[in-house]
Amino acid sequence: MFQKRYESPLGIIKIKASETGLQEVLFMDEAKDNIIDWSVAENEICTATAIQLDEYFKGERIIFDLPLSPVGTEFQQSVWKELLLIPFGKTSTYSAIANSLNNPLSVRAVGTSNGKNPIAIIIPCHRVIGADGTLTGYAGGLWRKELLLKLEGNLHYNQPTLWDD
């Protein structure tokens, strides 16, 4: 495994990749950051991920072009594939994703899978909101979810923003 410590505008991100694909893009809190051995070498996938994240945060990239290899169950994989279909600047709902999987009763399982997405930002779980248009949970924190949606020009939900322009 290879990894890289990436300093984003939203905090430290751990990038982890195998020889063939990206496996993790995770926000780190201070406690986790202090216990990770950052001396592990990075590879070209880690480097490319950092470059593309830089471009995303600068508003220069709306589509990521990276080989993805997230580890998860078959159901989680199917949810994560659906997340990749949500365009930049748009949102979806847990129920819409469940319906797209032809399993409308799986809304809670979709939410759980969304929360276990190991490749934040690139597999855009932040683009999933509640059916009533409100922001709902985000493993990286709702404040990050809101800022990611703001960065993408999408604040079309029914919750007051935490930050003013």
Give the pLDDT confidence of 4-51 residue by residue, as tens digits.
Answer: 999 999 999 999 999 999 999 999 986 666 678 878 899 999 999 999
Could you list the active site residues?
125
Evaluate whether residue 8 is within a structural domain.
yes
**Token pair for residue 159?**
């919750």
42 and 99 within one domain? no
* CATH number where 82 lies: 1.10.10.10
Domain that holds residue 40: 2-57
135 touches 142 (CB < 8 A): yes
Q: Is the pLDDT of residue 163 over 60?
A: no
99 and 138 within one domain? yes
Give the pLDDT confidence of 87-123 residue by residue, as tens digits.
Answer: 998 999 999 999 999 999 999 999 999 999 999 999 9
